[in-house]
Structure formats: C-alpha cells, structure tokens
Chains A and B, each alone.
Chain A
Amino acid sequence: MTNNIWEAQLDITPSDHKPVELTLDHCIKCNICVTACPVTAVTDLFPGPKYVGPQAGRFRHQGQPSPDHSVDYCNGCRVCNMVCPTGVKIAEINGRARAHIVQSGQVPLRRKLRNNLIARPELMGKVGQPLAPIANVLLHSGFGRFFAKLLLDIAPNAPLPRFSGERFSRWARKRPDAVRSARKVVYFHGCSTEYFEARVGKAAVQVLEANGFEVIVPPQNCCGLPLLSNGEFAAAQAYHESNIHHLIDYVKQGCVIVGTSTSCTLTLKEEAPEMLAYHTPDAQLLTANTFDIHEFLVHLLDAGELKTDGLKPMPLTLAYHPPCQYRAHRLGRPSTEIMALIPELTIIESQAACCGVGGTYGYKAEKYDITMAVGKSLFDFVQEVNGPIAVCDSETCRWNIAAVTGVPFVHPIELLAAAYGYEPEGPLAEVMK
C-alpha cells in the first residue's frame, strides 16, 4: 500500500486488451445467461443473450452488412455478463454488433434521427435547460408527446425527466463557501446532474466536503454511454476523448474521479474503452482511477476515514433498487453498506434484475412495452414497500420507476447528505419536513 486511498494510482500495468468478440470462444452454450436475461423472459422479439451474442457473433463479418437485427432488442443491462460462468462479454459483443448495423446504414432514417436525439442528453440539456419552464411544459404535455411519437417514434409514456432551474456546474462554480483542502477529488456529474437533478450533485459535493475533500468540478462532457448503446460509436468516441482530455491532468496530479451516475462511471471505467476498443495509456489511467461515489465512500469507511459520527436518524422504510449498471461494476452493494450507517433507516433491497429502461431503450416506442414488462416485478416491489420515496443510484432507472409507480426517487447520496445535516431538496425535502 503506497497511496492514500483518495490518491490516484499512476503506476498501472498496461494490460493486453483483446477485442471483446474474442471472448465468444468461451461460451459453453450452458444457457445460464438465457435464463437470467430479463428481456428474453418477456418478449419473443429478443432471442436471448446466447443467440445474439456468442452465437450470432460467429456469423458476423466486419466486411459484410450485418445479417441480424434482433440484437437491437438487447437493452444492455449486462445481467448476462454477470452470470456467465466463463467470462463471455456478451453485452459488449451485442453493443458492437449494433454499432455495425448502424455504421452500415441499416437503421431507418426516422429511428436514426430519434436515436441520435435521445442519445445526446448533453445537447438536449444545453438547449432545453435554459428554457426549463417552457421546455418542461412542452415535453410533458399531451401535445408534445403526440408529436414526439409522430415525428420520432418516441414512446408517448417515455419517462422523460424535467430540466432543473439551475445547471449544477454553475452552482458549483459560484459557491463562496467551497472547502479548500490538500485532499482533492474530481467530481464527474454527468448529464443528469448537470441538467436535470442538480440536487444529486449538491449532495455529493456536501458529503465529500464533510469528509474534508476539496471537490473539483472541471468542464466535462456526456460520458457517451447513450451514444454507445445506440451504436453511434464515432460520436461516443469524440465524447470519451474529450473527457479524457478534461480529466487526465487531474489524475496525473493525483486526483481520483468520483461520480454519482453509476452508468457514467461504468462507461469511463470499462464500457467506453471496451466497446470502442480504445485503450490508450491515458484511457487506461482514467479507467484505473474512476470510482462510483459509494465505492469511494466504502474505501474511506474501510480506511477509517469516513465521517460516521453524529448522523441524523432517518426513521423511514425505503425500497432500494441497485441498478443493473451498478451491479455491472462488480463491487457488491456499496450504497447499501453506506445507507446502513444512517440510524433508523430501513432499506429493503429489490431482487429484480432490471427496471427495463436500459438508458434510452425504454424511450423508444417499439420497446416501451418490453420495458414495462421487464420492470413489472420491480414496480410491484416498490409499491409493496410503499415508502414515501424510494432509492436508486441510476438516473434513468429512477425516472422510469418513478414514472410508473408514482413513487418519487432519490439517489442514495442524498440520504447521506441529509444525515450529515445538509438541507435536502426535492422529494427528500418533502419527506423530511
């Protein structure tokens, strides 16, 4: 152990990265992925991870048009990867196969336009957030939804978020009381915090500062995951390169990157390099030094460095869904571990594999019903627990489950911030009144 756990690890051994397709060789056809896949369980349109992944992979040829289209019904939840006993990177094989379909021009124009729009939360945020009051009314009106379906095949009931009144980065820049410290971390807020849920970022900053960290919020872009999952690899790579450019100097100075969006951190850690086969030394350095915020807090806790005294009791019983994108980090349940520190808080964990939304998947008219069917058991669970709010780390899951169940959702970091004594905003503020 040479470093403090909050310091970046710079002497990483560059590893030998093989294309994810080569992992199909390890498939022993056991069907475990098929039995675990939440999508194939509810629709015949998706033949299952074994078929679209390692099997179809043997029939694809880089130089020829893609012979298959059913792979597009994979929602990217990565449950298959988790259960595979032999380590086939099924979800990545699927993602790359979809990109091949997109690149060879096999997606109809209307859908291509739609996918390119919903895969760009940064663009939507930049345009929509300044016009938040109007944009929110428009996007949530029957009129707006009707045209979104008509023109772009966006599901009329898609769980669209609401733009927040203030951009998170503006709030972060304008704080007179920001902590200065020798212990520094870089916060990766992602698009959801920046444009839709500034409160999550505020809570994260407050928690980190309460633990003696100076929080740096550098300029940054969308992590590119929505583009990756829509097969738009060139645009995704541009975002990823830009993020490396914005973040890498901090890493080289010893700061780690901490994020609240589990899918953004997963993208920086793993998805972007693997899907794009992008393994430059800087990309590998970023990969090694990016953490989900609760992963980071658990490290602090284990090192005896996390503030655990004087936490305010929170006499609530809440449903918690660890999102599939979080499980894919292969970290266990760090958020559960941190929430357990809060006195009187009872967390009931969901056993559902997936809420179904798969990032942008559930926004698509042709996939909305599948999303609803996949998430059914989770929706029922949240309603059974019947808390005033519920908890989930991933934004699109929060929006999806909230839209269906009517139960407002918070990020677990908001609970810890409130337990530290910070004034909550949004649904949590309502509950703690």
Chain B
Amino acid sequence: MRTIQTEVLVIGGGATGTGVIADLALRGFRCALVEKRDLAHGTTGRYHGLLHSGGRYAVKDPKAATECIEENVILRRIMPHCIEDTGGFFVVTPWDDDAFGDRFMQGCRDTAVPCEEISIPHMLREEPHLNPGISRCFRVPDGSADSFLATQSVAALAQAHGAQILHYYEVKQLIRQGDRVVGALCYDLVKDEEVAVHADLVVNAAGAWAGKIAHTAEVEVNVRAGKGTMIAASYRIVNTVVNRCKMPADGDIIVPVHTVSIIGTTDEGVPDPEHFAIEPWEVQLMMQEAAKIVPGWHDLRMLRCWGGVRPLYQETKVADTRDVTRAYTLLDHETRDGVAGFITITGGKWTTYRQMAQVTVDRVCEKLGTARPCTTHETVVPNPFEQGHGRQHHNLGQRLADVEKEEAFGQLICECELATRADVEHAITQGEAKTIDDVRRDVRVGMGPCQGGFCTYRVAAIWHELKKPSIEETNVTLRDFLQERWKGLMPILWGPQLKQERLDELIYLSVLNADHLPGPRASRLGPAMYEPGTVWESDHAHV
C-alpha cells in the first residue's frame, strides 16, 4: 500500500478544512489535506453564498453574530475577489412583527453589527422588485461570496506554502494505535487504490461528516446534519441580500450570487449527510416564502434546486436543529475522550471559516508544543485563476466586461455563464479537475439557465482532446455531468425550465444518443442522486 507521511493531516476539503490547511502551511507545518471528492463538493459548495454581517444572529445567537461581523471585515480585506459587496437588507414584511425591528436594531447594537434603518421609498428605489408592503427596512453589511472560488483560492495559497492537497481521497478509517490517532486509511477514487496517510496529528474538519469520521476511531461526536434546500432563480431579481426581519426560519433569505438569486432555506435533520431527498413541500415552501419578499417570484424561471447539510454540533440531543448554536466547536479528543493526536473542528458557517481555522491551528501548536502566530487575518489570498484583478470585490458585470475586453464572444464554451475556451482549458490542464463537474466549480460551466445544455458536449470534446482518454471514458465523463445537472432540475421542472430541459433532452438523447454511447453508464466519480427518489405530484408547480 502506498503511504504518505506528514506532520498534520486535515480531513475535509470544504471551507473549514482548506482554511485549516492554509493556516497550517502559513505557520510552517508540513501538512496534507484529503477530500473525498473535489474541493467544496460538500456543504461549502452547496450553501446560498451569504457573507454574514451577523445581522441574522443578532437577536438569537449573539456570539455567532459577533464572530460573523469580525470575520466579515477580515474576509473583505483578504479575499476581495471572492466577495461581492451587495449589502444586505432586513425587511419587515406584512407577515412579520413590526416590533421585531426594534429588537433587531438593539441586537445589532449589542453585537456591533453596523445597521441603519432606511425608508421604504429608498429601499424600493434600490430594489424595485421588493414587496411594496414591506413596513421597515434595515441595511447591514451582508455580502455574497463565491465559495467555490474562495475554497480554491485558499487551497492554492496553502499549496504555495508547501501543503499537499489530495482530491478524491476518501477516508475509510482513522488509523488508531492504542490511545492515539496516527493517520487515516484513504481510498484514492481516481487511481482505485488504498493509501495510508500517517501524521503526528489529525484534524477532522469534515463538517457534517465529522461524526462519521470520528466514529471510525471509536470517538463519538454528535454532529447533526441539518439539510437546507435552496432554489436559484435564473437571474438577479435583487442585487442586495434580502433577509426577513424576524427570528431565523425557513425560506427567509434571498441572496444574489453571481448571476442568480437564491432563496433559502429549509432546515431538516437528516440521518445521513450523504443521503437525503429534496421534498416537494420544501420546494413549495421556498416558492411561497420567496414571494413574500419578491411578489413576482412565481413568474421567474427557477434554474435549479439543491440541498446542503449544515454541520450542527450539540453535546446533547435537541429536537429542532435551528436551536443549535451556529457558533463553531473545537473538540480536543485527548482531553474529551482520551484519544490523542486527534482534533475535531465543526459547526460554524462559511463566514467564520478563518476564525475556526485559527483556533484549530492554535490548538495544533499547543499540542505539538510550538508557538507560531496566526497570520491569515492579514494574508491576502490570491486569485489562482487570474492575475491583476488586485484587491477589488468582484461584481456582477465582471465576467461580461472581461469577455468584451478580450472580444472573446466567439470563444464562449458556456454561453450562459460566459466561460471561455481558455478558461475551460486552463481548468482541465492546469487545475485539478477530475470530472466536468470539477471544471464547473472552477469556471462555472453549466451553471446558467440551460444547465449544461449547450456546453456539456463542448467541454467533453475539449476534455477528450486535451486529456486523451479512451472514448468510453469521455462518454462516461459526459454522462456523469449530465446526471449531475439533471439531479438539480427534477425538483423544479415547470415553466421555462421545463421547455429548456425538453430541448436539452432532444440534444443529448435524440441527437447525440448520449445514453447509448459506448462505455459504462456511470462512474464512481459521478454524482450521488438525491435519495430516496421522490414521487412528484403533478400540481407541485402551482404553489
């Protein structure tokens, strides 16, 4: 069996894991990260993209609110290219309690979250599609974040400082020697072989999967997987993050991220972070709640629906996962469970990933008996895909402006999201892409309204040309990606998106015969479909 020896092993390639490995690398540790799929494949890549101001937790969870605003300021400084400065509103709709506005203001004051009330005419001038029945509006420094780009950027920073990032390495079992965890037995999905990674210390940053990982070392960590379902509308109906001004609940936030507006979310405890279904009632509820904020929401084209699982940590069992603190938790299993060489960092949210990494690595230093100061709060994270954009926030028009500047109109592979041939080739040859879905996370191919209808075959062709796999391998790569896109379309098939999918179906099944091309139907790198399969009722669109 192949073995890898390192000082610190980080498990999980989401925001937390990549944050930890970057911090470790910057502090000069030898370190490696294993992620069972692509970076940001899990919860990080499936959240609504909110850069919290803390407003959302100002009343309910002041500790989380304070963490959020601290990190909000830092992230805007260190990774501006991943953040769009949309600003955020908290709005009191006719369904909400007017008086909550005052509690909200007070909560923001107490937690140092900047907040000002603006007039409704002013709000409607900025966001004309909002419900004119809204009675109060508060402005906070929310933003929207590109969590794919951020994760890639942080990982690239780590690599630049010597860290090893291992994609498609699934942890089968932690390796335990007596009272000590000494590494992890991994399965390399691409090479189809087992690899043992030995380390002085293992950091479990597997998010919602952290409980499963710990369990393999006979350590019990009670991480509840709180499923959140989100739907993206096909364009920016709002350009500001809009939250309902009330206690956090289902479907109370619309986040503009890149070209889409995302309504989120539900919160349902699921037994397994890997297997969950998107239920019709969730889609219905999101549609209904979004329309309270933007009354024309039903007329918009729904682009895609997906679910992510929050890692919610609690020492004792609770019934409603919303009441679990959103602040993060660091568990030192040596003091907690008598198992040395093993730390778990879980809970939290994207916005606080850097702080979580900092406290984790502080503890690593302590464990390894060294004192090395954290520098991530002042280390600018470069954009691995572009030079020269400097320290500017990204904005909605950026990709269009770039294409216009280069006059790359004829070079577009994904026309919806404006990914050029050069972008795709770079992701395939320079990046770590193992599947077209990985290319998607790098350059946004297939993420627009046609959901891969016109770019999947183009990317597959470029893939085949550059990587020179067998025809069968290319075919399965194509099929895996089609399935991956299809997965998020089934729950929202009505109106324009149904027309689109009919056209896409004609392209792939009738014209290209994609389902009968030689090669396996699916590969182990393909998507896991939502389970159990849901039976959709015919009238679910009329919500």
Question: What residues of chain A have their CB less than 8 Å away from a CB belonging to chain B?
Answer: 18, 22, 24-30, 44, 47-48, 50-51, 55-70, 86
Contact = CB atoms under 8 A, between A and B. Distances in A.
A83 to B, nearest CB: 15
Contact of A57 (B235, B299, B300, B410): B235
Contact of A28 (B409, B418, B503): B503
Given A29-B415, A60-B397, A68-B404, 19 more contacts: A22-B296, A22-B299, A26-B301, A26-B499, A27-B449, A28-B453, A28-B499, A44-B409, A47-B409, A51-B412, A55-B415, A55-B418, A58-B234, A58-B236, A59-B397, A61-B395, A63-B239, A70-B404, A86-B499
Given A51-B409, A67-B401, A58 B235 contact: yes
Most buried by A among B126, B239, B301, B397: B397
Given A61-B395, A63-B126, A29 B450 contact: yes
Contact of A25 (B239, B301, B454, B503): B301
29 contacts: A25-B235, A25-B301, A25-B449, A26-B496, A27-B449, A28-B449, A28-B503, A29-B415, A29-B454, A29-B500, A29-B503, A30-B503, A44-B410, A50-B415, A57-B235, A58-B448, A59-B259, A59-B418, A61-B236, A62-B239, A64-B395, A65-B397, A67-B398, A68-B397, A68-B401, A68-B404, A70-B404, A86-B496, A86-B499
Given A58-B259, A59-B259, A29 B239 contact: no
Chain A binding surface SS class: loop
A29 B416 contact: yes
Contacts of A58: 234-236, 259, 416, 448-449
Given A25-B301, A47-B409, A70-B409, A64 B396 contact: yes
B448 to A, nearest CB: 7
Nearest to A50: B415
A419 B353 CA distance: 82
A56 B415 CA distance: 10
A26 to B, nearest CB: 5
Contacts of B450: 28-29
Most buried by B among A44, A57, A59, A65: A59
Interface residues on B, range: 20 to 34
B124 interface: no
A107 to B, nearest CB: 15
Contacts of A22: 296, 299-300
Chain B binding surface SS class: loop
B466 interface: no
Contacts of B412: 51
B85 to A, nearest CB: 11
B410 A29 contact: no
B150 to A, nearest CB: 21
Nearest to A47: B409
B397 A25 contact: no
Contacts of A62: 239
Contacts of A56: 400
A59 B260 CA distance: 10
Contact of B415 (A25, A51, A63): A51
Contacts of B434: none
B363 interface: no
Contact of B496 (A28, A63, A65): A28
B291 to A, nearest CB: 15
A48 B403 CA distance: 14
B172 interface: no
B399 interface: yes
A257 B234 CA distance: 40
Interface in B287-345: 296, 299-301
Contact of B239 (A27, A61, A65, A69): A61
Contacts of B296: 18, 22
A67 B454 CA distance: 24
Contacts of A48: 409
A61 B409 contact: no
The 8 closest A-B pairs by CB, nearest first: A67-B397, A47-B409, A67-B401, A59-B400, A25-B301, A67-B400, A29-B450, A58-B259
Contacts of B396: 59-61, 64, 67
Contacts of A67: 396-398, 400-401, 404
Nearest to A55: B415
Nearest to A24: B235
Nearest to A30: B503
Nearest to A88: B496
Interface in B390-424: 395-401, 404, 407, 409-410, 412, 415-416, 418
A64 B240 CA distance: 13
Nearest to B415: A55
B479 to A, nearest CB: 21
Contacts of A27: 449
Contacts of A55: 415-416, 418
A68 B499 contact: no
